[in-house]
Structure 1
Amino acid sequence: MTTFADTGLRHHGDAEVRGAGAGLTDLAVNVRTGTPPAWLRQRLAASLETLAAYPDGAPARHAVAVRHGLADDQVLLTAGAAEAFVLLARALPARCPVVVHPQFTEPEAALRDAGHRVRRVLLRPQDAFRLDPAAVPDAADLVVVGNPTNPTSVLHPAAGLARLAREGRTLVVDEAFVDAVPGERESLVPLLGTLPGRTVVLRSLTKTWGLAGLRVGYVLSNPETVRTLARHQPLWPVSAPALTAAEACSTPGALAEAEEAARRFARDRDHLRARLAGLREAGIGEATPCPQGPFLLVRHPRGAAVRERLRELGFAVRRGDTFPGLGTEWFRMAVRDPATSDRFAAALESALASLPDAS
């Protein structure tokens, strides 16, 4: 059976709020509120003075390499993580690509667009969406998994992901949200160069720094893979302002700010979960008992109706049925400050109470 998740791989959270106008609180997009910070906006504004010159990515590439303790030739700067998925799909050979779902859908969309036939490994809600490495077929020569995973908020152990690495296989780990995890726990970056086969880690500056409109991210891998992917990029693929952001967000001060934001996410997530716990008898259930991302996935038997009622009450949440493995009963919400979460919980309680009798 074809589901909306099969035809809607390119549906993302911004579609929930586009054109909605003022008055709608956005819990559908996982970008930290209050960003970019003032110091970063100032750096970006100053970069406009350089727009007459062609972009030079070397300083930003070096800054990212230093930030991760890698060599410069292990870094490829991209126009967001989304470009990296396209490069991987077009540049690397794959007879049997596998995408672990539910997760961000762009990797599968990019693979399909490049002509690949994609196999899916669907994680199950009864397992709290945890990955058993043995579930990935031995024949898979390219495996894509998110960590922490969007939308489930599961943080897979790095040791388990490392078990997926093997000769003849490309292991791609999307770590777009790992800087929202205190200490960047379970990142695979420290294991780069130690695992068999080809390991690729993707990062994004979009979520923590509020730069979705700037389009900046990067690939971390071995030098050969970086060169292969780079050959499929156009000239000057990353703009001067985006390069400025990559360099600025790699400084010790920026990393300290990101760490504090990650700890604040954890506190705010606990507050939101406590409010949701009070609605269990009304049918609200969490996807995982130990979420680690800056968002939560929940379910309700009448989730689609709940989403629509929430929208009427001024809150946009992300539908779940565009993610393979999920249905209309699922929806995702971004973690916000306690005051916003209190308002949301009150609206959710009202939405649940207003549902017409199912009979």
Structure 2
Amino acid sequence: MTPTTTTAVNSAATTGADGTSGTGLDVHAHSASFFDVSRRFGRQRPVVDFCIPTNSYFPTPEVFERLRADLPTLLKYYPDDSSGTSRELARLLGLNPQTVAMANGSTELITWIDHLLVEESLAVPVPTFGRWTDQPLETGKRVDMFPLREETGFTLDVDAYVAFVRERGSRVAVVCQPNNPDGGYVHRERIVRMLDEFADLDLVVVDESFLDFVDAEPECSVVREAALRPNVIVLRSLGKNFGLHGVRFGYMVANPALTERVSRALPKWNLNSLAEAVVGLLSDHLGEYRASLRRTAADRDDMVQRLQQVPGLTVFPTTANFVLVKVPPGCDGRALRDHLVQQHGVYVRDCGNKLGLTSDFLRLVVRPAQDVDRLLDGLRDHLGARSATTA
């Protein structure tokens, strides 16, 4: 495996003089604001979001109604500090409160993990969530990138990754489980074996931000392993799982010494009142939440099957609530993205600014069948017109 090391980020996206793409979407951002996209392209009909990986079935209308009723109080008064909300979350999860720390989204935790615990080098498979490469690069660390191969469906070979880390001498190793943007999942037993192999590293991070959507085996998480090991952190994202990205709340699980070190660096009131309220509601709505995961899994299987019927489209295996696809040869992924949002009101994520991918790859969030109908209409419209032009 050819090692890749870099200290700079190159954007694969094409921008205009104002830093925007042909549709006016800000390609420098993680993804354009859905509010902004709706304002620009939703005049004829509502835009369907296949870009932001939300949960289509949670929160339920009842949860939103409870939050709406409490909104004046939530906005008027200070929230509890994050330690109180962390204790409540730990109680719900059945974890020792000393092993849990909450933050303003998993990105805040990634930032502090980099500042506090990454001294010189970090290894990470690519493509993956961009903050795992961008954050350490921004602070001058060496980032050793282990390339995941398209021809193997971007599957992570754990043994090859361990050998890569040893060859490069990386002191921190990261794995996203499942991986973003392809949804690839490594069975828990292999992840635990990797943790054993990396027992001498400064740190190992398993980013489980989308793991609740995985139903590949009865027990998928390694949070209980993290609580007992001296050099392991697991990240989870409540915002992604619960379909509340705007609330911004994630948490980490680690042994008490690591958790305390990160917690001391976090701002005192880094969680807002909505995050505190949602954690307080969880115990009353866990049944609905679990049902939402089952419905999402059924939608995923149906959506993958339907996408596989689109001529020329490559659909990669996934266990998450999103699907990675590659457009047919000769098709411009950016042009397809623009056509979908402009002509069909379908907002998708092209992967041109993800290291290890190009704009020929699109990440499509799992959505209910009626929304997939509109996506497929747009795909067939553009791909059929392109085929007719080149015939």
> Same fold per TM (> 0.5)?
yes
Q: For residue 72 of structure 1, report the CA deviation from its aligned partner.
A: 0.4
Partner of residue 202, structure 1: 235
Aligned counterparts of 2:257 and 2:98: Cα–Cα separation in 1: 9
Q: Verify: 1:352 aligned to 2:379, yes or no.
A: no
Q: Verify: 1:287 aligned to 2:297, yes or no.
A: no
1:83/1:5 CA distance change after superposition, 3 Å: farther
1:93/1:344 CA distance change after superposition, 3 Å: closer
> Which residue, out of 154, 159, 171, partners 1:129?
154
- Does the 8 Å contact 1:128/1:287 carry over to 2? yes
> Which residue, out of 164, 170, 173, partners 1:140?
170
Aligned counterparts of 1:52 and 1:276: Cα–Cα separation in 2: 47
Matches for 1:116-265 after TM superposition, within 5 Å: 116-133=141-158, 134-135=160-161, 136-138=164-166, 139-165=169-195, 166-182=199-215, 185-195=219-229, 197-249=230-282, 251=283, 253-265=284-296
Q: For residue 268 of structure 1, report the CA deviation from its aligned partner.
A: 0.6
- Does the 8 Å contact 1:296/1:334 carry over to 2? yes
Out of 127-136 and 318-327, give the one that drifted further: 127-136
- Does the 8 Å contact 1:9/1:106 carry over to 2? no
1:316/1:270 CA distance change after superposition, 3 Å: same
- Does the 8 Å contact 2:13/2:359 carry over to 1? no
Partner of residue 12, structure 1: 30
Q: Verify: 1:30 aligned to 2:53, yes or no.
A: yes
Out of 155-164 and 7-16, give the one that drifted further: 7-16
For residues 2-35 of structure 1, give each alpha carbon's deviation from its aligned partner in whole angstroms, at most 9, with x where no partner exists. 7425999963234577344223221111112355
Partner of residue 94, structure 1: 119
For residues 34-55 of structure 1, give each alpha carbon's deviation from its aligned partner in whole angstroms, at most 9, with x where no partner exists. 5533343344342652643452
For residues 220-255 of structure 1, give each alpha carbon's deviation from its aligned partner in whole angstroms, at most 9, with x where no partner exists. 111111111112212221123212222323x2x433
Q: Verify: 1:41 aligned to 2:85, yes or no.
A: no
1:35/1:98 CA distance change after superposition, 3 Å: same
For residues 260-319 of structure 1, give each alpha carbon's deviation from its aligned partner in whole angstroms, at most 9, with x where no partner exists. 11111111111111211211xx2101122xx11011000013223322222222211100
RMSD over aligned Cα atoms:
2.6
**2:294 counterpart SS class:** helix
- Does the 8 Å contact 1:10/1:105 carry over to 2? no
Amino acid at match of 1:61: S
Q: Verify: 1:106 aligned to 2:131, yes or no.
A: yes
- Does the 8 Å contact 2:79/2:271 carry over to 1? no
Q: For residue 325 of structure 1, report the CA deviation from its aligned partner.
A: 0.9
Structure 2: gaps of 5 or more residues: 1-7, 15-25
Out of 46-55 and 212-221, give the one that drifted further: 46-55
Give the number of equivalent residue pairs: 352
Q: Percent identity?
A: 26
**2:181 counterpart SS class:** coil
Amino acid at match of 1:248: L
1:62/1:345 CA distance change after superposition, 3 Å: same
For residues 105-137 of structure 1, give each alpha carbon's deviation from its aligned partner in whole angstroms, at most 9, with x where no partner exists. 122222222332212112111111111123241
> Which residue, out of 353, 356, 360, partners 1:329?
360
Amino acid at match of 1:11: A
Amino acid at match of 1:113: E
- Does the 8 Å contact 2:9/2:134 carry over to 1? no
Partner of residue 64, structure 1: 89
Partner of residue 306, structure 1: 336
Aligned counterparts of 1:5 and 1:230: Cα–Cα separation in 2: 36
Aligned counterparts of 1:92 and 1:10: Cα–Cα separation in 2: 27
Normalised TM-score (structure 1): 0.89
Structure 1: gaps of 5 or more residues: none
- Does the 8 Å contact 1:178/1:184 carry over to 2? no
Aligned counterparts of 1:106 and 1:306: Cα–Cα separation in 2: 26
Aligned counterparts of 2:89 and 2:218: Cα–Cα separation in 1: 15
Normalised TM-score (structure 2): 0.82
Aligned counterparts of 2:336 and 2:78: Cα–Cα separation in 1: 51
1:353/1:62 CA distance change after superposition, 3 Å: same
Partner of residue 347, structure 2: 316
Amino acid at match of 1:285: T
> Which residue, out of 60, 85, 104, partners 2:110?
85
